[in-house]
């Protein structure tokens, strides 16, 4: 009898076990005990959170000019740093982002910057910020990093990269002897590149006063650019480049 009583007590005291790995589509059901509803709701909320935590549709980062970028219309989920709160935002038109949108400090050259969608305002829309931080923009609570760009030594924006894209295309101008920079997040074996003449310094005129253009523009297997000129100096020559990254 004692064993039977202990067994019955164990049955009544046992707490149902709920998996956190999947969406319980039919739960909670009307026939469920009210004491289990919170558990089922918690499981389903966790499953939904894993689904939407990284959500981004559109909000594509594009080159606009040497000093501005464009964030296209789209929808995103912006989270706090702990990931305990999510805010859903949608923009129905594109946003122009300039250096006035930097989170702190001022524009720096030869620097990689990151672009964030921000959901701090009590609004259906998101705003955008530029930050030198790859993890969190200064002064923002709810945000999502959508991509990055490189501000080159001349203070011109290049190498636009979207975080949700497996393909990156970057372009720019590079001096003779320099190395083409890899797109952020890509290794050399994930990239291909091409170059062409940008500026060329020459001093060669033949006996007919005809300018002679004789040179080469190449990039090595390690992305080192060489611009040669058999009739003049190559030291100040530059090349245009395009580098493609694919994962």
What is the CATH number for 86? 2.80.20.10
Same domain, 158 and 179: no
Same domain, 137 and 223: no
For tokens 């000093």, name the residue.
67
∠ CA 186-143-112, nearest 5°, is 35
Same domain, 171 and 126: no
Nearest-angstrom CA–CA distance, 85 and 236 = 53
Which pLDDT value is given to residue 11? 45
Question: What are the angstrom distances between the C-alpha of 214 and each of 198, 201, 203, 204, 211?
Answer: 14, 11, 11, 9, 10
- 32 SS3 class: coil
Residue 184 within any structural domain of the chain? yes
234's tokens: 């190559």
For tokens 């701090």, name the residue.
120
Residue 239 contacts residue 174 (beta carbons within 8 Å): yes
Name which residue leads in pLDDT, 95 or 197: 95
Boundary residue ending a domain (162, 181, 212): 162
Q: Please check the confidence at residue 105 and state whether its pLDDT lies above 60.
A: yes
Handedness of CA 134, 187, 62, 49 (dihedral sign): negative
Boundary residue ending a domain (124, 145, 162): 162
Which pLDDT value is given to residue 233? 57
Same domain, 158 and 213: no
Same domain, 116 and 179: no
What is the DSSP code string of 75-97?
EEEEE-TTS--EEEEEESS-EEE
How many of the other CB atoms lie within 10 Å of CB of 141? 15
Residue 223 within any structural domain of the chain? yes
Residue 229 contacts residue 200 (beta carbons within 8 Å): yes
Which pLDDT value is given to residue 127? 97
Name which residue leads in pLDDT, 58 or 199: 58
Residue 32 within any structural domain of the chain? no
- 206 SS3 class: coil
Nearest to 177 by CA among 217, 150, 133: 217
| Pairing, β 215-219 against β 95-97 | unpaired
Residue 2 within any structural domain of the chain? no
Same domain, 130 and 61: yes
Same domain, 103 and 179: no
The number of folded domains in the chain is: 2
Question: What's the mean pLDDT when you consider all of the chain?
Answer: 84
* 28 cis-preceded (ω within 30 degrees of 0): yes
Question: Range of 225's domain?
Answer: 167-246
Same domain, 110 and 191: no
Residues 139-194: pLDDT tens digits? Answer: 999 999 999 999 999 999 988 888 887 778 888 888 889 999 998 778 999 999 99
Residue 39 within any structural domain of the chain? no
Same domain, 191 and 130: no
Name which residue leads in pLDDT, 187 or 39: 187
Q: Please check the confidence at residue 212 and state whether its pLDDT lies above 90.
A: no
Same domain, 157 and 204: no
Residue 29 within any structural domain of the chain? no
Average pLDDT over residues 194-221: 72
Q: Please check the confidence at residue 10 and state whether its pLDDT lies above 50.
A: no
Same domain, 153 and 179: no
88 contact partners, CB below 8 Å, separation of at least 6 = 52, 75, 76, 77, 119
Same domain, 187 and 124: no
* 17 — pLDDT class (breaks 50, 70, 90): very low
Residue 63 within any structural domain of the chain? yes
Boundary residue ending a domain (107, 132, 162): 162
């Amino acid at each position: 009898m004692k064993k039977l009583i202990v067994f019955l007590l164990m049955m009544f005291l046992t707490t149902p076990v709920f998996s956190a790995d999947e969406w319980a589509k039919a739960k909670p059901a009307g026939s469920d005990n009210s004491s289990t509803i919170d558990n089922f709701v918690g499981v389903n909320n966790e499953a939904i959170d894993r689904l939407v935590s990284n959500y981004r549709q559109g909000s594509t980062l594009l080159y606009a000019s040497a000093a501005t970028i464009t964030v296209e219309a789209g929808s995103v989920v912006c989270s706090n740093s702990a990931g305990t709160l999510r805010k859903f935002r949608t923009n129905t038109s594109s946003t122009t982002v300039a250096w006035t949108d930097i989170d702190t400090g001022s524009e720096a050259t030869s620097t990689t910057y990151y672009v964030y969608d921000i959901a701090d305002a009590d609004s259906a829309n998101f705003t955008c910020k530029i930050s030198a931080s790859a993890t969190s923009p200064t002064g923002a609570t709810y945000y999502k990093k959508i991509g990055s760009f490189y501000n080159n030594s001349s203070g011109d924006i290049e190498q636009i990269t979207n975080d949700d894209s497996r393909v990156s295309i970057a372009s720019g101008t590079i001096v003779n002897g320099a190395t083409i920079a890899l797109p952020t997040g890509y290794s050399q074996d994930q990239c291909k590149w091409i170059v062409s003449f940008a500026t060329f310094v020459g001093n060669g005129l033949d006996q007919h006063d005809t300018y002679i253009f004789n040179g080469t523009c190449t990039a090595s297997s390690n992305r080192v650019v060489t611009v040669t000129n058999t009739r003049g100096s190559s030291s100040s020559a530059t090349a245009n480049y395009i580098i493609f990254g694919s994962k």
